[in-house]
Chains A and B, each alone.
Chain A
Amino acid sequence: MNVELLWWEGCPSTERALEMVREAISELGLPEIEVHTREIVTEDDARDAGFIGSPTILIDGADLVPAAAVEQIGLSCRVYRRRDGRISPTPDPDDLREALERAARAEVNS
């Protein structure tokens, strides 16, 4: 499984997001998975990566939370909605765990 966190320096939530991903991997017993990080520096980088905000977490290339059509590509902080409706700069931990579980199951079944 390939887990990649795309980040931009204008947002202070990168460390918290990275911690969340590592915790979820550990809780699910998937310790051999390495989390790769990629800095998005310029608007061109953002366009090339389809980056809609920091942090963006890709699991096997797929966005943890599929982006809405209205999301703009560019250097900004990403708006996530937690399951209880709150807005947050980081994804819901349950969404993260479920996405990792799905990817792990898909890997086993492939």
Chain B
Amino acid sequence: MSLTIGDTAPDFQLSDTEGGTWSATGSGATVLVFTCNHCPYALAWHDRIAEVARDYAERGVRVLAINANDAERYPRDSFEAMKDRVGREDWPMPYLYDATQEVARAYDAKVTPDVFVLDGERRLRYRGAPDSDYDDPRAGAVWLREALDAVLRGEEPARAETKPVGCSIKWKS
């Protein structure tokens, strides 16, 4: 069943590439980004999302990147490949592995990237794309930023839902 804006989002326990364990429950806002290594949309938006993680960290916002793709069919999305990528790049956010795909299914994530903003009570406040154009870095993940700014003010985001755009999540058969 799809999550609706305002719903309490499912909690989870997932490990990241550094051995840490994360859940959806935080004291402040949490951004979940279903993403992966091999998708051009996820890669094109990655730096903008990372900038959001850096810019909002001091305001208590956690950004959690989650890879749920079937690594058997897409080895570039394996846990080893995730660790290798984080080792090579400057990641300001943890990279979580949803090996069973249960979290992606619980959130009804569709594509990479698919962005979910939860408030401190784990209620869904935004779902969709980071901004309107994967090909334009100047777009700056503005939809995500606007949603976070609203949540941090204790308000409803004016644009609570947009269409996520990207590669389909690679489900296990």
Chain B proximity mask over A72-93: 1 for CB below 8 Å, otherwise 0: 1010111110000011111000
State the interface size on chain A (CB cutoff 8 A). Answer: 16
Let me know if B73 and A87 touch, CB within 8 A: no
B165 at the interface (CB under 8 A from A): yes
Q: How far is the CB of B140 from chain A (nearest CB, A)?
A: 14
Contact, CB under 8 Å: B40 / A88: yes
Q: Determine the residue in chain A with the shortest Cβ distance to B164.
A: A12
Separation of A93 and B27 alpha carbons in the complex (Å): 46
* Nearest CB of B to A95, in Å: 15
- Which A residues are CB-close (under 8 A) to B73? 74
Q: Does A10 contact B (CB under 8 A)?
A: yes
A-side contacts of B165, CB under 8 Å: 12
Task: Tally B residues with Cβ within 8 Å of A.
Answer: 17
CB < 8 Å A-B pair total: 43
Partner of A89, one of B74, B134, B168: B134
Q: 1/0 contact trace for B91-116 toward A, CB 8 Å?
A: 00000000000000000000000000
B41 contact set on A, CB distance < 8 A: 12, 77, 89
Contact yes or no, B39 A86, CB < 8 A: no
- Interface assignment of A11: CB less than 8 Å from any CB of chain B: yes
Q: Which residues of B contact A (CB under 8 A)?
A: 38-41, 43-44, 73-76, 134-135, 137, 165-168
Given contacts A11-B167, A11-B168, A72-B76, 20 further A-B contacts (CB under 8 A): A10-B168, A72-B75, A74-B73, A74-B74, A76-B39, A76-B74, A76-B167, A77-B41, A77-B167, A78-B40, A79-B40, A80-B40, A86-B44, A86-B135, A87-B40, A87-B44, A88-B44, A88-B134, A88-B135, A89-B44
Residues on A facing B (Cβ under 8 Å) = 10-13, 72, 74, 76-80, 86-90
- What are 22 A-B pairs with beta-carbon distances under 8 A? A10-B167, A12-B41, A12-B165, A12-B166, A72-B75, A72-B76, A76-B39, A76-B74, A76-B167, A77-B39, A77-B167, A78-B40, A86-B44, A87-B40, A87-B43, A87-B44, A88-B135, A89-B40, A89-B41, A89-B44, A89-B134, A89-B135
